[in-house]
Structure 1
Amino acid sequence: MHDLRRQALESGKTVSRKARSRQASATSSKANSARGSPAHSRAASRNPSRHGSDDEDYLSDGTAWSTNSIDELLNGEDVDLPPDAWKTELHNRIEQIVDRKRSSTEGRADSLNGFAHILMARYAKDDIETRISELLPSMLRSIRQETTERETLTALKALSVAIVTLDSDDVYDLVADQLKRTVSNSESMEAKVGAIHALGIAAFFGGAAEEEMEDVMAYFLEIVESDGLSIDAHDEGSVVIAALEAWGLLATEIEDLEEATEAAIEAFVDQLQSSDAGVQIAAGENIALLYEKSYTPLEEDEEASDEDVDWEDEDQPNHGDKMVKRYNVYRRQDQLLHTLDNLANISTRKISKKDRKSLHSNFADIRNSVEKPTRGPKYSTALDQETGRTYGGGRMKVKINRNVEVRIDKWWKLQRLNALRRVLQGGFTHQYDENEAVSRCLPFSVAGKR
């Protein structure tokens, strides 16, 4: 990593918030910050129509033998296999990726695929850190040359998993320009989607300063505003969805979104009219996030009018923080609520039953949060028959183990959860337990306690 740090320092960039946060908490032990991880399953995913098979089946497409073989190394019960057999396989994959002269296009794609699959399932920072100065140029070359779509896509996936594994403040500067070129210039829509997500991951986990994050968000917003036209992907729903999702991930890291809200909310409201249910839901989630971000906790020495104050979880006995509205998100909120009502109750047969179900469940939550921004996803005012109290927030939970779970009671948590699942897929649980970069994104709670 010495070479990476030297290259990053020579760029003269400012220090990222993540770096400042890490420095401030350097005395905290890793054990206290990494306890477990949300289980990965389609049943646990709240929107399989949008976050489903393309991402989750990615590594098994056309490479079943390779993936199954690695799975045997990772999960097999063969007593003759040493416990660290996967490390040998990982090192073989690394050698195959960096030694381009002795590899074919298909061979590199297989190696990148295997590399990513192992990194998802095992925390291997120590194993790749000393080779990253060789791995990064090779992965970027596979992305840049686009010899085949499969090699490009596996390189983008491998790069994303490597960035989350490394948790380095030096990577963003080294990969951002190439990822932007792929987003703008690739003729493959799947490559554009993969590069958009990889760019968002690089900015979030790779050391981008807040100003750089805001620049990337503006880039993604331009894609949304133009329906993909700005990157030669006009009316490509998958591309617009990716830009919306990546924008939402980065927005969770920006402390004050007031300045960015006016342009963003207009673009997202426009996308509610899309004919693609996935685009509508991704735009709606970002709208809910913008409303949530417009409230912050009341300071100890601060006074605020009653109409601007709300409780974080007003239907629960202990409430939580007093939250204060800091600014107006959208000037035509009544019109927006009407649109959200229509989407939450849409009944036309022009869209599939599956999409109607997704629209109903997602927009009921989104509408609820626009009306009451302190209420997160799956907030319920229904009464619990055992306690006599309303269920309130936090009904969406991801089980980690018997004692630990992650409550997805905020839209920012949902954005981060979805982004991490796209990258880590079935390895999310293990990574949450081992990788501080993952665990610090989503605070956990003790099971059974609010």
Structure 2
Amino acid sequence: MHDLRRQVLESGKTVSRKARSRIASGTPSKVSSAVNSPAHSRATSRNPSRQNSDDEDDLSDGTAWRFSIRCCAGECALTGLLGSTNSIDDLLNGEDGDLPIDAWKSELKTRVEQIIDRKRSSTEGRADSLAAYARILMARYAKNDIDNRIRELLPSMIWSIKSEATERETVAALKALAVTVVTIDSDDIYDSVADLLKRTISDSGSTPIKANAIHALGIAAFLGGASEDEMEDIMALLLEIIESDGLSVDAHDEGSVVIAALEEWGLLATQIDDLENATEAAMEAFVDQLQSSDSGVQIAAGENIALLYEKSYTPLEEDEEISDEGLDSDDDEPRTGRMVKRYHVYRRQDQLIHTLDELANISTRKISKKDRKTLHSSFADIRNSVEKPARGPKYSTALDQETGRSYGGGRMKVKINRSVEVRIDRWWKLQRLNALRRVLQGGFTYHYDENEVVSGCLPFSMTSKR
């Protein structure tokens, strides 16, 4: 792979557990429809749509959104890890009328036993069990089913990652670890796995393992009990990977590793209140990666740039006085409020906007039609936010004929059930949504409805009834 460089707010805090309980109490009962199978995609592919219609983007399932799991080299797809995909799907979807409702619980119990009992398992058998376990946890909220076995499960996953017997087993263990973090809601898990994951990122000779370890480290820090200082240390590690095109972890020019570092940096950044001190170095790295030959790298870098501009503005306080020059607001969407610019994000903004314009209108035949469409859509949004940080992804300046106002933000949404939807009208929300769907794949909406860890990360809105 040629050198990647040379070729062509809201604070975003995680809601406290008490707040999650209040949210959960107002959340309707469990989704009754079957969970879709996870979407599969080739290595380092990016979200190819987010443009379902001129009016709105419905991200309710993997088919409508065509969500891509951006992991690594074929190992990403769980069906590639799982030998009995059809049987697992049957258990999860309950398509066989003779299957008991809780058949997946029995299968999960069996897989847990197989993962724990290492002495009587083979490398291939452990890989199959880990992948099946992860697939079930993605599609069903199984906290009560694994809570009493976590002290045995976690060491076994750690052993599979540390020993690195085969790439297949290690990748399966990393994915199983990530979905376990999302399921169990423990503040202790980060301390148990952080050093191991950092060593794996640095020392593994496998690109898929490095990339999956980066994703596992990001989600473990975000949901597993890392302090703000620890998250900032991880962000510094990830920035070194980005700045060096992967060379700092012996993965030079490996797009999947750089994308993973960009994505997890963006996720952790949503949890940091004040990014002023980190912004200058980060912006230099992200702007540099806009010149990458990999569209996935370009988009991940662009989304982080938009996030940094969004984070540089905070709401105007009631007793605060400031000149109009420091304000950013959208008169057509008063709910966004008056936003105050707290610091400069990038000293060469005119040059940045020129680059974003080029990417939003790129027409070279060296890039596939699909990638061009993705670049156009993504960078039109990113440019819009750089110029007007109060505007989030998919902000529309088109006028509503009935009201005379612009459509504004909130066209990107995830429908959870009949009365609840998540409006993705801020870049920090999009970063978190992407991270959760990387882990949960098609089971995201089910987990949002059942799992307070997931619903606590993203506020919901009630759908009006007609």
Same fold (TM over 0.5): yes
Q: Contact 1:196–1:246 at 8 Å: present in 2 too?
A: yes
Within 5 Å, give how 1:47-446 maps onto structure 2: 48=68, 51=70, 58-61=77-80, 63=82, 65-311=83-329, 313-316=330-333, 318-446=334-462
Distance in 1 of aligned mates of 2:74 and 2:270 = 22
Q: Contact 1:309–1:322 at 8 Å: present in 2 too?
A: yes
Distance in 2 of aligned mates of 1:26 and 1:377 = 25
Instruction: Give how far 1:207 is off.
Output: 0.5
Instruction: Give how far 1:90 is off.
Output: 0.7
Instruction: Give how far 1:62 is off.
Output: 5.1
Q: 1:334–1:26: structure 2 CA closer, same or farther, 3 Å change rule? A: closer
Residue identity matched to 2:185: D
Instruction: Give how far 1:360 is off.
Output: 0.8
Map of 1:28 onto structure 2 = 22
Residue identity matched to 1:254: I
What stretches of structure 1 of length at least 5 have no aligned partner? 1-16
Q: 1:326-366, CA deviations, whole angstroms, 9 ceiling, x for partnerless residues? A: 00000111111111111111111122222111111111100
Q: 1:35-55, CA deviations, whole angstroms, 9 ceiling, x for partnerless residues? A: 77863214315x75x749979
Distance in 2 of aligned mates of 1:56 and 1:32 = 39
Q: 1:397-448, CA deviations, whole angstroms, 9 ceiling, x for partnerless residues? A: 1111222211111000100111111100111111000100100111111225
Instruction: Give how far 1:28 is off.
Output: 3.3
Distance in 2 of aligned mates of 1:133 and 1:358 = 43
Q: 1:275–1:378: structure 2 CA closer, same or farther, 3 Å change rule? A: same
Distance in 1 of aligned mates of 2:322 and 2:28 = 37
Instruction: Give how far 1:73 is off.
Output: 1.4
Distance in 1 of aligned mates of 2:183 and 2:296 = 29
Distance in 2 of aligned mates of 1:439 and 1:221 = 28
| Percent of paired sites with the same residue | 72
Instruction: Give how far 1:25 is off.
Output: 4.0
TM-score, with normalisation over the residues of structure 1? 0.90
Residue identity matched to 1:332: R
Q: Contact 1:217–1:247 at 8 Å: present in 2 too?
A: yes
Residue identity matched to 1:348: T
Classify the secondary structure of the residue corresponding to 1:247: helix
Instruction: Give how far 1:301 is off.
Output: 1.3
Q: 1:62–1:165: structure 2 CA closer, same or farther, 3 Å change rule? A: closer
Distance in 2 of aligned mates of 1:443 and 1:368 = 23
Instruction: Give how far 1:56 is off.
Output: 10
Residue identity matched to 2:374: S
Q: Contact 1:172–1:206 at 8 Å: present in 2 too?
A: yes
Q: 1:103–1:56: structure 2 CA closer, same or farther, 3 Å change rule? A: closer
Classify the secondary structure of the residue corresponding to 2:226: coil
What stretches of structure 2 of length at least 5 have no aligned partner? 1-12, 32-58
Distance in 2 of aligned mates of 1:121 and 1:26 = 21
The structure with more helix, counted as a fraction of residues? 1
Q: Contact 2:116–2:152 at 8 Å: present in 1 too?
A: yes
Instruction: Give how far 1:186 is off.
Output: 0.8
Distance in 2 of aligned mates of 1:432 and 1:389 = 32
Distance in 2 of aligned mates of 1:275 and 1:29 = 43
Q: 1:363-399, CA deviations, whole angstroms, 9 ceiling, x for partnerless residues? A: 1100000000000011110112343321111111111
Q: Contact 2:70–2:256 at 8 Å: present in 1 too?
A: no
Distance in 1 of aligned mates of 2:168 and 2:311 = 38
Residue identity matched to 1:444: F
Instruction: Give how far 1:323 is off.
Output: 0.9
Q: 1:360–1:254: structure 2 CA closer, same or farther, 3 Å change rule? A: same
Give the RMSD, CA atoms, in angstroms: 2.1
Classify the secondary structure of the residue corresponding to 2:278: helix
Residue identity matched to 2:442: G
Residue identity matched to 2:373: K
Distance in 1 of aligned mates of 2:260 and 2:361 = 25
Report whether the alignment pairs 1:43 with 2:37: no
- My pick for the range that moved more, 399-408 or 373-382, is 399-408
TM-score, with normalisation over the residues of structure 2? 0.87
Residue identity matched to 1:41: G
- My pick for the range that moved more, 26-35 or 192-201, is 26-35
Instruction: Give how far 1:32 is off.
Output: 2.9
Q: 1:229–1:34: structure 2 CA closer, same or farther, 3 Å change rule? A: farther
- My pick for the range that moved more, 182-191 or 351-360, is 351-360
Q: Contact 1:379–1:391 at 8 Å: present in 2 too?
A: yes
Instruction: Give how far 1:120 is off.
Output: 0.7
